[in-house]
Chains A and B, each alone.
Chain A
Amino acid sequence: QSALTQPASVSGSPGQSITISCTGTISDVGSYNLVSWYQQHPGKAPKVIIYEVSKRPSGFSNRFSGSKSGNTASLTISGLQAEDEADYYCCSYAGGSSPWVFGGGTKLTVL
């Protein structure tokens, strides 16, 4: 199973909005509404910020939102804050013998 495709880096200024794309295939992103997004700060374990395409874990900031169109999922962060600077990974269920696949990760820089 090939990794999902994410941009290597994105950047934005405080208060702005950014969107990170995650492109898969009809076998993964396109077939299942089971895309999740994980935020990872340096030296820390990842933590989930979006699951099932657009759901947020309880208590998590509504500045983070997710969507999907065809084989591409997207994560949008609005009102950028300095603490949003981190690596972001998408993950999709793909079924079969290799049921989950990650994206390569996107480094978000808050200018």
Chain B
Amino acid sequence: QVQLVESGGGLVKPGGSLRLSCAASGFTVSDYYMSWIRQAPGKGLEWVSYISDGGTTIYYADSVRGRFTISRDSARNSLYLQMNSLRAEDTAVYYCAKLSGFLIDYWGQGMLVTVSS
């Protein structure tokens, strides 16, 4: 069955960096659109980034463009989010998600990232 397991979250100081990983099983990451979606404490959902199945199309929300980089590793069947120049407003639970067409059909369990001095 499909599983998405995030890792790499934690506490980081403003201006610092963090790399989130999402290990996938039950399907091949490079065959699907994959995405990162975040949820600030007590707030709603926000698309952060996605990568197309072919890897040729990548999207970033305006709020993270230029600071975050999405990537994937076919050999490890994993998705990554490199987050640089972190700000307090980046504090959120980050979800790895698999898309099927235009639908998010599977979500990871979420990983908390806290940006604070």
Q: A: which residues have CB within 8 A of B?
A: 3, 34, 36, 38, 45-48, 51-52, 57, 89, 91, 93, 97-105
Contact = CB atoms under 8 A, between A and B. Distances in A.
Contact of B103 (A52, A97, A98, A103): A52
A47 B44 contact: no
Given A36-B103, A45-B110, A93-B102, A102 B59 contact: no
Given A46-B45, A104-B44, A105-B45, A51 B107 contact: no
B104 A102 contact: no
Contacts of B46: 102
Nearest to A34: B102
A89 B104 CA distance: 12
Contacts, number: 48
B44 A45 contact: no
Interface residues of B, number: 17
Contacts of A38: 45, 104
B107 A46 contact: yes
Given A51-B103, A101-B47, 11 more contacts: A3-B44, A34-B102, A45-B95, A45-B108, A45-B109, A52-B103, A91-B104, A98-B62, A99-B59, A103-B44, A104-B44
A57 B100 CA distance: 12
Nearest to B47: A100
B2 interface: no
Contacts of B103: 36, 48, 51-52
A102 B45 contact: yes
13 contacts: A3-B44, A36-B102, A36-B103, A45-B109, A52-B102, A89-B44, A91-B104, A93-B102, A98-B59, A102-B46, A103-B44, A104-B44, A105-B44
A14 B107 CA distance: 29
> Which residue, A89, A99, A101, has most C-beta atoms of chain B within 10 A?
A99
B61 interface: yes
A98 B110 CA distance: 22
A97 B65 CA distance: 12
Contact of B104 (A36, A52, A105): A36
A111 B49 CA distance: 38
